[in-house]
Structure 1
């Protein structure tokens, strides 16, 4: 055994990681270089003075993260640590900002630990050489100086990078006896909430070497609530609690606990409440509205009648204030009290000086109130203030209950009746407020309260009953007063005026007037401002002016009525004499120079004379008109009587020629007389002829009515308003070939066309008139002599005459937009249409207007031997009666816009129009049969499909000779009659040419070009014979060895360079792949071997086939579902991948 030892390391070896103290070896371990360090100059601290050796980490290598040191007995011997000194600094020797943690372990388990977080910031070398004392009996808030351990760990953080330790005071662990597990009881095991009891450790339980009994709750070693050395500890739990007690402190190791449970019974809440703190004797008996713990008992002092359950009998209780106490039942009873007041009712009696008042009495107030300060009230009709003052003049007569309600602690009410009597109603009235001296004497027509007396001032003679003697009164205004004689007399007055009568005399300058005279007015009116009137027939103004011309002849009584205070009337006779009747008429308002001479019918006064302007040959006495001797024009015939009152009348006569021929000598205006051969605009019976070969053709902007209009071949007429009259359009067909035509009028029928034209005859009764259908096996169905079908507006049809001549159609003029349905067909989507107007329409404008339902903006016309294609780059002005084809993209209505009409000086029937674009036309000719395809170069267009500028050939063309081009980019097999390309880099655009011809046929290629850039020439490339031919220098003739049907052999080059066989190169960019049918794809432009594969979008290979193409190869597809597929072509020229859509 030995006592505490302080190790100052002075006899230890420098740089050693062990030290020996009193024979016990301790080892030093660390995260960095901790060992015994021989510091110079007494910089250590042995507890009382400086020394030279410490344990430190001199030469540490980490910065800013702190350090750690472990000291442990080498044989796990237990010891107790009493204290030590530490010096802590940062890398510069300054006081650091850090924490120090000390952890003790025994047999590898933690026995205690604490952290010191301050005291290192400023190092004062003058105090303990800067060392800080760590006392384990107090540091960390607990005494750990006697706790057994075999290992101590000292750690810093933050800036505590350097650590030195000295004066390590320790002691060897002595023999130690652990305390008994105590037997514990409670003096009162069950208490009420708020009570307490003592926990008692049995005298038979000993602390041994422990210092105190430690009391915990929650668990043994759980929440420490206190310690005791006596074995007695007082607790006051508010809930049932188990307490755990064991001996601790000194050298002992805490062990198991003794336990005891204290049961806590809660005292019941005695709280209760009433809905008020005071009640009046007349209120319902109250009971508690709230009892926190029911089942207890209520009580109070004498005077308050209350039941044990708390119900108060207020009517039986004596007024006063009482304490009410409620006591709970149960093991922990408790009570509480509150005061309740019982109040007596107020005395509400009151009175007025009288029980009845009149409306004109002074306002009364109560003369007695037993309990002042309350409020008076009554029912509607009585105006009463809250203090009881009655406003009798504002109240409605009647009897009213007045209620007085006190405002005391216990308000009470009393009621008394008061009567308000109305004043007599003195109102009265006369039938008028003014009377004339000659009026009957008036009496009042209404007296509200009869029996009173009437009176007035001097000048008005009035009886007491109110009757006025107007004739005896002096004119003027008088107040008439009426006074009642009832219980409450009252008076009223009204003004009455007595007026003299007006002077109504008047006169006119004469007593008789004619209807042609100036309108007369009175020349004298005694009292102006009145009103004139007369009997029916005389038109007279209220001011007396007579409208003689509007009046019916006759004698009339005119009355003048003044409008003064007392109106009066006077009368006079006036006579109106009629003019002579000059009526006459002719049988018609217009005549032609070929009609019979008309005479007038005079229905008025005969014997007058006729006259008219020069040009109309008329007999002045009889009115007979010599129309053949008259000059055509418009005339007014005048007839004048010679009676007492002469009169005249007129009749308009138009003399017309019979026929009118349009000359257009001035302009296009229909209503300009200078445009007609006789300088007269056609009248309603006229027959109009519009010839051809003119410069100006008519445009009508207003409604026209004529007998007929005949239009010759090539003539045009634009009507912007309705036209009444039969229209006949004559179209010259110079051959007996088939022609596509239409009816440029409305209302024509096939029967009329058959009857009025020399149609060719065919087999089976067929005539030379065919209708086109896109859903029948045969495209054309021919009319027969029994056909009874109307010709729809805008429809086209085919005509073949038996002999060259004129096709004549008749009907009415189309003047507004025409809608014509087109449809998709089962065989094709082509529809035949025709110009419905008697004027020209532009094909490009028409196609653009209807682009949404057209497959492409293209029109196909038949020129008598072949189909000709027109689009935006080669438009045509469609002549009246011109038929043509379009291709539908959907079902819908085609619109022929009336605004698209125009006049042309040249007939364009089956003829094209000139254009200025660079272009060439490639021809192929077989004997007398010739076909062509056109190419245009236009700025802004592409090598892909340009709708309106690229157009297919007409697929219904049954000829076995065809030539066409196909697209350079994104070629999908469209066979183009017209292709439009960019107007640049001409030589780089190699155009695929398709040819359809039989074997052993002699074909001649030729070209016609215009407006091409200087030096550009057209070359035909033949990839089968590997040749170039300059078609600009001359024609090229071949003989086919086999049937030709498609592209791949021939290509067109437009080049300024001379091309020869050496320029022939194969290029994959000239190869195209497209779907040519739902079960077929076509590879065009390949002159080599290749491999074609078809894949689904999921990568499944569906087709794999080799081809040896000479320009065109068709690959059959298996039965594939609708969708998108990928086609891959591999060849020596390169590879192509393209998506196709199968529908």
Structure 2
């Protein structure tokens, strides 16, 4: 009979694969390197076998990687009754399938009762009935005999306070996704989920007086995913580590805490002007930050709402309350520009760009298509960064706040299926590596950048989820680009095809309230062979190749705004398509602890650095005939001059070393 099963796998799979209604697979299409699963028995304890209209799904953790709708009853007394379906494996890290070797978890959907069962215990065999490991194998086949069972685990205080201590549970063993969990009242100690810990359970009953603590360190934050229902009057504490003296966008993974209660529980949030605390939220209608909260501020901290917080010392912020039970909706306003500060409402990371369950996928229609991204504040770089389909992390940490730009007033939805364990998910974005050009600009101490990514599937016009409009810094200095096929929006990130032989002319915008010198530079990553990167200044009729560390210095007027002066030329043979370079005077500028001297000199040139009182501080021989660098680390703050000894006479040039 086993051979008959194998022969029928494909036929049965085709008849049912697109019909399931309760479970949603986490991949699109037929999947990748499928594993065939032949279910010969599926029984609900005390109820009977699954019937027509019921469903079976297989999960890798919290991700549904295969599901099937039954068209007949799985009669355990009839060996000809079975159902087959396929599970999809992950392809190139796309998080849309199982990972080889991970444990298989099954769930049932009883359609007539409207109940989802996660407490399913499978017996896994080969086609000869020999028990094999319960694990995913690409292109493999397994036979499944599954039934529900009493899988409840109860917390005890007989061992340590670690959730991951098997001896702290009755019966012994760490809970898995099929285990219901009870945390009773009246114990001497309660479970802590460590900063590197990943906790799972089915239903969670947290009795009044009981608690769970989720820890956080610099290395990461603990994670808890509850796949079933939540009951009981107990509360939890979720912690999130943040470094000192920087503003951080955060959101609470728990509900029920007041703003005043949060501030009381977090004394390291600093006080300003007697009553104001280092915490605020954002007003979409005013397109600005609201005033700082005080200890007497009214209102509660809502799930899915974002806040801006700082600490005076390195450490954690403490959220207290109850865990989200089901999906969470967060309100979007659109009375002004549509910028809304929201955040991850779960006690685990969430998918950002997973093809079915990702936040951007689920909420695509709710976000302005030119801004289909998450905007995170990076306190180290002192700027907003992008997370979308071409930029940043695949997952977003628990407790992370972020901005989105609403397409219209409404709601975004955080679904339970978005939840994923990743305890080291960064508390800010981190770039992924497409071929790219980052154009940097520096004006005094202010900096900005705009990025061009390359992928052959992109277009010259808008690619929603890959291009991202600018979220201005508010500091009076911004740099951005226009799409090659302009749609009227200024972009922080745009994506272009980047095919061999292509070349692009990209308008670059500069907004500079104060004006003055602007220093342009470029960073390139894995550019296609033969690509150059040049910046054209139409006002001065100059072109500079930025690809090999070259810099270009331009003077801009105060209140400069918009495009029309600067253009970025990227691609093949761009040198032959624009005017020849014109000679420039010697210019000097500092970036960090490096002095740059730009201008044509001979190979015998010497650079002499003098302090304002005429003392010779340094003498350096030229290493380049166009751009030279001098290390100024250790220079005292003040005014200096660099004098160039060369065949051609040059005037001494002043520069300033700041504090």
TM bucket, shorter chain: 0.5 to 0.7
| 1:720 and 2:227 aligned | yes
Cα contact 2:439–2:520 (8 A) shared by 1: yes
- Where does residue 755 of structure 1 map in the other structure? 264
Find the aligned partners of 1:830 and 1:1000 in 2 and give their Cα distance: 27
**Selected match of 1:960 from 476, 481, 491:** 476
| 1:996 and 2:505 aligned | no
Gaps of 5+ in 2: 1-153, 582-659
**Selected match of 2:315 from 778, 799, 805:** 805
Indicate the SS of the match to 1:754. helix
Q: CA deviation at 1:833?
A: 0.3
Cα contact 2:536–2:567 (8 A) shared by 1: yes
Find the aligned partners of 2:361 and 2:175 in 1 and give their Cα distance: 35
- Where does residue 908 of structure 1 map in the other structure? 426
Q: TM-score, normalised by structure 2?
A: 0.56
Aligned 1:298-447 pairs, distance under 5 A: none
Find the aligned partners of 1:655 and 1:689 in 2 and give their Cα distance: 13
Give RMSD over aligned pairs.
3.1
Which digits, 9 at most, give the CA deviation of each residue in 1:925-951, with x for residues without a partner?
Answer: 345443211211123221111211111
Which digits, 9 at most, give the CA deviation of each residue in 1:5-32, with x for residues without a partner?
Answer: xxxxxxxxxxxxxxxxxxxxxxxxxxxx
Which digits, 9 at most, give the CA deviation of each residue in 1:571-595, with x for residues without a partner?
Answer: xxxxxxxxxxxxxxxxxxxxxxxxx
Cα contact 1:1019–1:1055 (8 A) shared by 2: no
Cα contact 1:840–1:902 (8 A) shared by 2: yes
- Where does residue 839 of structure 1 map in the other structure? 348
Which digits, 9 at most, give the CA deviation of each residue in 1:351-380, with x for residues without a partner?
Answer: xxxxxxxxxxxxxxxxxxxxxxxxxxxxxx
Which digits, 9 at most, give the CA deviation of each residue in 1:474-505, with x for residues without a partner?
Answer: xxxxxxxxxxxxxxxxxxxxxxxxxxxxxxxx
- Kindly tell me: are residues 896 and 655 of structure 1, through their superposed partners in 2, closer, same or farther at Cα, counting changes over 3 Å? closer
Indicate the SS of the match to 1:868. strand
Find the aligned partners of 2:196 and 2:515 in 1 and give their Cα distance: 48
Equivalent pairs counted in the alignment come to: 402
Indicate the SS of the match to 1:753. helix
Find the aligned partners of 1:663 and 1:986 in 2 and give their Cα distance: 56
- Kindly tell me: are residues 882 and 1019 of structure 1, through their superposed partners in 2, closer, same or farther at Cα, counting changes over 3 Å? same
Which digits, 9 at most, give the CA deviation of each residue in 1:31-74, with x for residues without a partner?
Answer: xxxxxxxxxxxxxxxxxxxxxxxxxxxxxxxxxxxxxxxxxxxx
- Kindly tell me: are residues 1038 and 670 of structure 1, through their superposed partners in 2, closer, same or farther at Cα, counting changes over 3 Å? farther
Find the aligned partners of 2:392 and 2:341 in 1 and give their Cα distance: 18
**Selected match of 1:1021 from 511, 530, 536:** 536
Q: CA deviation at 1:654?
A: 9.5
| 1:930 and 2:447 aligned | yes
Find the aligned partners of 1:759 and 1:712 in 2 and give their Cα distance: 19
Cα contact 1:949–1:979 (8 A) shared by 2: yes
Find the aligned partners of 1:815 and 1:662 in 2 and give their Cα distance: 20
Indicate the SS of the match to 2:442. strand
Q: CA deviation at 1:1000?
A: 5.4
Q: CA deviation at 1:710?
A: 1.4
Q: CA deviation at 1:772?
A: 0.9
Find the aligned partners of 2:490 and 2:170 in 1 and give their Cα distance: 47
Which digits, 9 at most, give the CA deviation of each residue in 1:614-667, with x for residues without a partner?
Answer: xxxxxxxxxxxxxxxxxxxxxxxxxxxxxxxxxxxxxxx9964264314499xx
Indicate the SS of the match to 1:848. helix
- Kindly tell me: are residues 832 and 778 of structure 1, through their superposed partners in 2, closer, same or farther at Cα, counting changes over 3 Å? closer
Find the aligned partners of 1:1053 and 1:901 in 2 and give their Cα distance: 42
Q: CA deviation at 1:886?
A: 0.8
Find the aligned partners of 1:804 and 1:798 in 2 and give their Cα distance: 16
Cα contact 1:921–1:1008 (8 A) shared by 2: yes
- Where does residue 313 of structure 1 map in the other structure? none
- Kindly tell me: are residues 1000 and 887 of structure 1, through their superposed partners in 2, closer, same or farther at Cα, counting changes over 3 Å? closer
Indicate the SS of the match to 2:549. coil
Find the aligned partners of 1:762 and 1:655 in 2 and give their Cα distance: 45
Indicate the SS of the match to 2:262. helix
Find the aligned partners of 2:416 and 2:326 in 1 and give their Cα distance: 5
- Where does residue 312 of structure 1 map in the other structure? none
| 1:1048 and 2:564 aligned | yes
- Kindly tell me: are residues 796 and 681 of structure 1, through their superposed partners in 2, closer, same or farther at Cα, counting changes over 3 Å? closer
Indicate the SS of the match to 1:847. helix
- Kindly tell me: are residues 699 and 1040 of structure 1, through their superposed partners in 2, closer, same or farther at Cα, counting changes over 3 Å? same
Find the aligned partners of 1:670 and 1:837 in 2 and give their Cα distance: 27
- Where does residue 980 of structure 1 map in the other structure? 495
Which digits, 9 at most, give the CA deviation of each residue in 1:213-240, with x for residues without a partner?
Answer: xxxxxxxxxxxxxxxxxxxxxxxxxxxx
Larger radius of gyration: 1
Q: CA deviation at 1:953?
A: 0.9
Find the aligned partners of 1:670 and 1:771 in 2 and give their Cα distance: 44
- Where does residue 860 of structure 1 map in the other structure? 375
Q: CA deviation at 1:1002?
A: 3.5
- Where does residue 821 of structure 1 map in the other structure? 331
Find the aligned partners of 1:980 and 1:932 in 2 and give their Cα distance: 15
Which digits, 9 at most, give the CA deviation of each residue in 1:152-195, with x for residues without a partner?
Answer: xxxxxxxxxxxxxxxxxxxxxxxxxxxxxxxxxxxxxxxxxxxx
Find the aligned partners of 1:881 and 1:843 in 2 and give their Cα distance: 14
Find the aligned partners of 1:1064 and 1:816 in 2 and give their Cα distance: 63
- Kindly tell me: are residues 715 and 1003 of structure 1, through their superposed partners in 2, closer, same or farther at Cα, counting changes over 3 Å? farther
Cα contact 2:255–2:324 (8 A) shared by 1: yes
Cα contact 2:536–2:568 (8 A) shared by 1: yes
**Selected match of 2:252 from 736, 740, 743:** 743
Cα contact 2:386–2:392 (8 A) shared by 1: no
Find the aligned partners of 1:663 and 1:793 in 2 and give their Cα distance: 27
- Kindly tell me: are residues 674 and 901 of structure 1, through their superposed partners in 2, closer, same or farther at Cα, counting changes over 3 Å? closer
- Where does residue 766 of structure 1 map in the other structure? 276
Aligned 1:430-579 pairs, distance under 5 A: none
Find the aligned partners of 1:854 and 1:909 in 2 and give their Cα distance: 22
- Kindly tell me: are residues 664 and 961 of structure 1, through their superposed partners in 2, closer, same or farther at Cα, counting changes over 3 Å? farther
**Selected match of 1:689 from 178, 192, 203:** 192
Find the aligned partners of 1:1050 and 1:824 in 2 and give their Cα distance: 33
Find the aligned partners of 1:1037 and 1:967 in 2 and give their Cα distance: 22
Q: CA deviation at 1:837?
A: 0.5
- Where does residue 202 of structure 2 map in the other structure? 701
Find the aligned partners of 1:783 and 1:836 in 2 and give their Cα distance: 21
- Where does residue 546 of structure 2 map in the other structure? 1031
Q: TM-score, normalised by structure 1?
A: 0.33
Which digits, 9 at most, give the CA deviation of each residue in 1:246-300, with x for residues without a partner?
Answer: xxxxxxxxxxxxxxxxxxxxxxxxxxxxxxxxxxxxxxxxxxxxxxxxxxxxxxx
Query: Relative contact order (alpha carbons < 8 A, sep ≥ 6): 1 or 2 greater?
Result: 2
| 1:850 and 2:363 aligned | yes
Find the aligned partners of 1:1055 and 1:807 in 2 and give their Cα distance: 47
**Selected match of 1:788 from 283, 287, 298:** 298
Find the aligned partners of 2:157 and 2:428 in 1 and give their Cα distance: 39
- Kindly tell me: are residues 988 and 816 of structure 1, through their superposed partners in 2, closer, same or farther at Cα, counting changes over 3 Å? same
Indicate the SS of the match to 1:1046. coil
Cα contact 2:223–2:423 (8 A) shared by 1: no
Q: CA deviation at 1:839?
A: 0.9
Which digits, 9 at most, give the CA deviation of each residue in 1:326-368, with x for residues without a partner?
Answer: xxxxxxxxxxxxxxxxxxxxxxxxxxxxxxxxxxxxxxxxxxx
- Where does residue 409 of structure 2 map in the other structure? 891
| 1:673 and 2:173 aligned | yes
Q: CA deviation at 1:1041?
A: 4.2
Q: CA deviation at 1:798?
A: 0.9
Q: CA deviation at 1:675?
A: 7.5
Cα contact 1:936–1:979 (8 A) shared by 2: yes
